Amino acid sequence: MKNQCVLEISVESVEAAMAAERGGASRIEFCSNSRVGGTTPSDELLRAVRERVSLPIFSMVRPRGGDFFYTEAEFEAMRRDVDAAKEMGMDGVVLGLLDAGGQIDVERTKELVERARPLAVTFHRAFDECLDLQRSLEDVIGTGAVRLLTSGGKRTAPEALDALGELVRIAGRRIAVMPGSGLHAGNIREAVAKTGAREFHAGLSSVVADVAGNLAVFEREVRRLADVLREAIEAVPE
């Protein structure tokens, strides 16, 4: 249906995942080390979050912070992390690889997409490091990933709503373009109106600085965001 929407919430603890579920999230992105953009969580954490949360969970597959050009040893670690996500009952994985020239590494990404099946794969904000976003969109589509998480090449999604809308338009039904970074209840209406997207990603760090120490506040902000997003989507003409 046209007016369906998805709210993905990024968390790095079981307790935060549970709070996001109570707050009305549609899906969880689960990672460790969110301060560096997220890395692969341990098998123990994946097992624990799967036991406590019924929402779809997508696990981050990223061996370290920093750039997205990986050595062969790091790529082998990503293979193992994809396998672990499947074994731990995840519903999908989130990953992204660039080549030495800063372009989408289509072949390596395609290998991981195939390895992950039947899990869905989201290509993450490594995409935003690329200079030509429209060309890179075609490359991501070529990997077989089903979703692209992007802030439109800017630090936050609200800074790039026009660019995000263009990516959504070009992608059509070939891949879901999911705006993310810097989104919250105060700006999601404009994001819906200007991008035409139907999936959105948020970690809410801009409104809840210390999630671990403020789980009740975090849950409340997830609920606010979910409610406003639903209202904004419902207001879009069929």
Q: Are 153 and 125 in contact (CB under 8 A)?
A: no
Q: What is the pLDDT of residue 44?
A: 97
Q: What is the pLDDT of residue 123?
A: 98
Q: Residue-wise over 20-32: b if at least 16 C-beta within 10 A, else e?
A: bbebbbbbbbbbb
User: H-helix or E-strand containing 45?
Assistant: helix 43-52
Delimit the domains of the chain by residue range.
Answer: 6-234
Higher pLDDT, 212 or 28: 28
Residue 10: name the closest of 52, 60, 49, 84 by CA. 60
Q: What pLDDT digit, counting tens, does each position of 134-155 carry? A: 999 999 999 999 999 999 999 9
6-234 maps to which CATH number?
3.20.20.380
Higher pLDDT, 3 or 19: 19
Tell me what percent of the residues of the chain surpass a pLDDT of 90. 96
For residues 108-115, give the mean pLDDT. Answer: 98
Residue 1 has pLDDT above 90, yes or no: no
State how far the Cα of 182 lies from the Cα of 201, in Å rounded to an integer: 9
The angle subtended at Cα 217 by Cα 216 and Cα 218, nearest 5°, is: 90
Residue 181 has pLDDT above 50, yes or no: yes
Residue 114 has pLDDT above 90, yes or no: yes
Q: Quick one: CA torsion of 82, 88, 93, 98, rounded to 10 degrees?
A: -30
Q: Any bridge partners for residue 180, and if so which?
A: 201
Q: Give the predicted TM-score (pTM) of the model.
A: 0.96
Q: What's the chain's average pLDDT? A: 97
Q: What is the pLDDT of residue 136?
A: 98
Main-chain phi, psi angles of 100, to 5 degrees: -65, -25
Q: What is the pLDDT of residue 2?
A: 58
Q: Are 115 and 137 in contact (CB under 8 A)?
A: no
The angle subtended at Cα 169 by Cα 176 and Cα 34, nearest 5°, is: 40
